[in-house]
Chains A and B, each alone.
Chain A
Amino acid sequence: MNNLDQLLTIKDLHTGFRIKDTYYDAVDGVSLSLRKNEILAVVGESGCGKSTLATSIIGLYDRNKTRVKGEILYKGQNLALLEEDKLNHVRGEEIGMIFQDPLSALNPLMRIGEQIEEGLIYHTKMTKEERKNRVLELLKQVGIPNPERIARQFPHQLSGGMRQRVIIAIAISCKPNIIIADEPTTALDVTIQAQILDLLKELQNETGAGILLITHDLGVVAETADRVAIMYAGQIIEEAPVEKLFANPRHPYTRSLLNSIPQINSENEKLQVIQGMVPSLVKLPRVGCRFADRIPWIPADVHEENPTLHEVSPGHLVRCTCWQHFHFESEKGGNLL
C-alpha cells in the first residue's frame, strides 16, 4: 500500500450521542483509509453506524449532543478537531456529499441552476458568466438532457433519477477529492439505479476522486466497489477487496448477510440467515464479541476476550476468532481451518 495514495485516514474514531447525560458510541473505534481512485463501500444494516461514520467525517452532527474522538486525517489536518468555519472550506470543496433522498436534500424554493451555483459562489472566485457555464457543463456531465431548461426548473418538476443527478452535480461542482455517497440509489428504481452507479463510476474515472459508498445493498457493492468494509454494532467486522469478500466471506455476520439475499440465480430453497437483529445503542454489550449473542450455538470460548481485526490474507481483515469455528445452526459443526 502506498501512503501517498491515501486521501483520507480514519484512526480509532469514536462518535457518541448523548442520551440522558451518558454518551453512547454509535461508531466505536473505526479505522479506515480511502485511497485515490477507489470506491470503498461501507456496508451494514440500519443502526450499525455507517451513516454516523459519514456525518462524522464531514462534521454534519449536532455538536451539543455528539462527542467525536479519534483522528480523521485529510491533507495533514484532523477534521474532527477543525472549527466550523474552517470545516466549511473542506465541505463541498474537498469533500462532496451525495445524500440518500434527493427531494429532501434539495431546496424546493430554489431553481436547480442556483442550487448548483451556490457552492461555486462560496468556494471559487468565478465570475457570474463562468459560473453559469460551469453549471451547464455540470448538468451535461451528469447526463441531463437540455441543461438550459432544467437549470431554470424547480426540484419538484424533475423525476427522482433526475434529482439524484442534480445532487451528484452539486457534489462534484468544485471537483472534490473525496465523494461521500450515503445510500445514493436506495430511493430509486433498479433501472435508474444502474444508470446512476454507472455515472458515478464514469465521473470517478475522469476525476480520480475517492468515493466512500455507504449502502446496505450488497448487489450495489458487488457492481461498483473496489474494497468493502462490513460494519456491525459500530465496529468494522470484516474488510476485504471486493472479489475476496464475495468469494470467501469469513465473519459469521458477513456470511449471514450474503445468504439473506434472494438471488436471481438461486433455486427455491430457504434463505439461510442468523435470527435476530442489530442491538440498539443503549443495550449494546461493549465487551467481548458483539456478535456472540446472535450465535449461541457456537461455544463461548472460541470468541476472543477483546476481539481485534486479524489479517487472514493480504488486505482481508476479520474481527474476532469465532469465524474459524462458525457453522450455521442447521449445519453440522466443523472446523473451517
Chain B
Amino acid sequence: MSFMQIKDLKVHYPIRGGFFNTVVDNVHAVDGISLEFEKGKAYGLVGESGCGKSTTGKSIIGLEKITSGSIIYEGEDVTNKVRGRNTAYNRDIQMIFQDAHSSLNPRKRVQDIIAEPIRNFLKLSPGEERKRINELLAIVGMSEEARLKYPHEFSGGQKQRIGIARAIASNPKLIIADEPVSALDLSVQAQVLNFLKDIQEEYGLSYLFISHDLGVVKHMCDNISIMYKGRFVESGNRKDIYTNPQHIYTKRLLSAIPEVNPNDREERKKIRRAVEVDYLTNHHNYYDENGRVFDLQPVSETHQVATSAQNKGGI
C-alpha cells in the first residue's frame, strides 16, 4: 500500500510581459503527473535537461509552489501547506542535492550540518545527539574526526556522503535524490550508489531518483518514469522500460546511450539512425498538434504509455 500519492501535479511559471507587465503566458514546467510511493521501493524520473524532472522533486518537498494537483501524505493533503518546523511531512521527506558543495553551509562544521535535522525534529539531549552524529558518520563510512571539519576540507564524494548523512538523520521515509551522483567521478559514483542501496535495504527507505543517466536509474530503481516537456511519456517497471519500450521518445533515449561494448557499435549507429527517422516521421502518433504529450494509457498492469486514444488498441 502506498504511503504517499501525487495526483495530477502541475507547476506553471507565469511569463510576464507586455504593457502592464501582465501575465502573457505560462511555462508548463510540470504539466499533470501522478505518482505513488510505496515503502522500500525506488522510483526513477528520467528525462533530458529542461523536462521538468527537478521541478517535480522540488515541488514535492515544498520548494516550489504547486499550481494545481495534490500531494496526499498518509491520508492528509499537504499541498502548498504552510508547514511548521516540526511537521511529520518535513521530517519524513528529505532531499539529496546534485551539487553537494553548494548544498552545505560553508561556515558550519560537519557536526552542525548533520545535527540540523536532529535538532529540528528529534529533540535529543546533547549527549544523545553526539552519539547519533557518530552513528550517522559511521553509516556513511566516515571517521569521527570529520565532525569538527568544514565542508571545504572534503572531496566531492565525501561531501555527497555528508549530504546523505544529513538526509537520513531524521529517519525519513522518502528521500528525493536529485542527480545525486552526476557531479562525481565514475568510481566515486559507484561507491555512492552502492552505499545508497545498502542504506535502502537496511532502513526500508523509498527513493525518488531524479537523473538523466538511464544506466544509473536502471541500477537503482524498481519503477521508472520517462519525462518529456513536463509530462510522463512512459512509466513502468524496469523490465517494461528497458526491454519493451513503447513510446518513440523512450526508444530514442535508449538508443542514444553509449554502450560499453565497442564490437557492434556500427550496428547500434544504424539502429539509432532508424529510430531518429521514425521519431521524425511518426511524431503525430505520440504528440498532439501543440506538441503536447498525450495522456498515459495502460499497456499492461505495470506499464503505461502516452498515446492518442485512437492508437490505444495497438502501436
Give the interface of A toward B (CB within 8 A). Answer: 45-46, 160, 189-191, 193-194, 197-198, 216-225, 242-243, 246, 256-266, 268, 270-271, 273-275, 277-278
> Does B105 make an interface contact (CB < 8 A)?
no
Contact A219 B260 (CB under 8 A): yes
Q: Which residue of chain A has its CB nearest to the CB of B191?
A: A273
Q: Which residue of chain A has its CB nearest to the CB of B190?
A: A260
Contacts of A243 in B (CB 8 A): 262-263
Q: Can you list 26 A-B pairs, Cβ within 8 angstroms, ordered by A?
A: A46-B185, A160-B49, A189-B48, A190-B48, A190-B212, A191-B48, A191-B252, A193-B256, A194-B272, A198-B269, A219-B215, A222-B260, A223-B258, A223-B268, A242-B262, A243-B262, A246-B260, A258-B260, A262-B193, A262-B215, A262-B220, A263-B215, A263-B259, A265-B259, A273-B187, A277-B187
Contact A264 B259 (CB under 8 A): yes
From the candidates B48, B189, B214, name the one contacting A264 in the complex (CB within 8 A).
B214
Instruction: Classify the secondary structure of B's interface with A.
Output: helix
Give the shortest distance, in Å, between A1 (CB) and chain B (any CB): 20
Q: Which residue of chain B has its CB nearest to the CB of A276?
A: B187
Residues of chain B in range 234-273 having any CB-CB distance to chain A below 8 Å: 242, 252-263, 265, 268-269, 272
Give the interface of B toward A (CB within 8 A). Answer: 48-49, 155, 157, 185-191, 193-194, 197, 212-216, 218-220, 242, 252-263, 265, 268-269, 272
| Residue with the highest number of chain A CB atoms closer than 10 Å, among B157, B216, B260 | B260
Contacts of B193 in A (CB 8 A): 262, 271
Q: Which residue of chain A has its CB nearest to the CB of B252?
A: A191
Give the shortest distance, in Å, between A254 (CB) and chain B (any CB): 11
Contacts of A216 in B (CB 8 A): 185-186
Q: Which residue of chain B has its CB nearest to the CB of A201?
A: B269
Contact A262 B258 (CB under 8 A): no
Contact A261 B257 (CB under 8 A): no
From the candidates B213, B254, B261, name the one contacting A246 in the complex (CB within 8 A).
B261
Contact B194 A270 (CB under 8 A): yes
Q: Give complex CA distance A221, B155 in Å.
A: 26
Contact A217 B48 (CB under 8 A): no
Q: Give complex CA distance A88, B188 in Å.
A: 39
Q: Give complex CA distance A270, B272 in Å.
A: 30
Give the shortest distance, in Å, between A199 (CB) and chain B (any CB): 12
Q: Which residue of chain B has its CB nearest to the CB of A253?
A: B187
Contact A270 B186 (CB under 8 A): no
Q: Give complex CA distance A223, B272 in Å.
A: 12
Contacts of A257 in B (CB 8 A): 186-187
A190-B48, A260-B186, A275-B191 in contact; A222/B261 too (CB < 8 A)? yes
Q: Which residue of chain A has its CB nearest to the CB of B215?
A: A262
Q: Give complex CA distance A260, B260 in Å.
A: 11
Contact A261 B262 (CB under 8 A): no
From the candidates B185, B213, B218, B258, name the one contacting A222 in the complex (CB within 8 A).
B258
Contacts of B262 in A (CB 8 A): 221-223, 225, 242-243, 246
Given contacts A261-B215, A262-B220, A273-B191, 16 further A-B contacts (CB under 8 A): A190-B258, A191-B256, A197-B258, A217-B258, A219-B258, A224-B265, A246-B262, A258-B260, A262-B193, A262-B213, A263-B218, A264-B215, A265-B259, A270-B197, A271-B190, A277-B188
Contacts of B254 in A (CB 8 A): 264
Q: Which residue of chain B has its CB nearest to the CB of A220?
A: B258
Contact B187 A274 (CB under 8 A): yes
Contact A273 B190 (CB under 8 A): yes
Contacts of A270 in B (CB 8 A): 194, 197
Task: Sort A-B residue pairs by CB-CB distance and give the 3 closest, nearest first.
Answer: A219-B258, A262-B219, A260-B190
Give the shortest distance, in Å, between B36 (CB) and chain A (any CB): 21
Q: Give complex CA distance A265, B239 in Å.
A: 11
Give the shortest distance, in Å, between A249 (CB) and chain B (any CB): 11
Contacts of B259 in A (CB 8 A): 219, 222-223, 263-265
Contacts of A256 in B (CB 8 A): 187
Q: Which residue of chain A has its CB nearest to the CB of B216?
A: A262
Give the shortest distance, in Å, between B147 (CB) and chain A (any CB): 21
| Residue with the highest number of chain A CB atoms closer than 10 Å, among B157, B185, B212, B216 | B185
Give the shortest distance, in Å, between A244 (CB) and chain B (any CB): 9
Contact B253 A45 (CB under 8 A): no
From the candidates B185, B218, B265, name the one contacting A262 in the complex (CB within 8 A).
B218
Q: Which residue of chain B has its CB nearest to the CB of A193?
A: B256
| Residue with the highest number of chain B CB atoms closer than 10 Å, among A190, A243, A273, A274 | A190
Q: Give complex CA distance A265, B220 in Å.
A: 13
Q: Give complex CA distance A45, B184 in Å.
A: 9
Q: Give complex CA distance A10, B212 in Å.
A: 37
A216-B186, A222-B259, A274-B187 in contact; A191/B265 too (CB < 8 A)? no
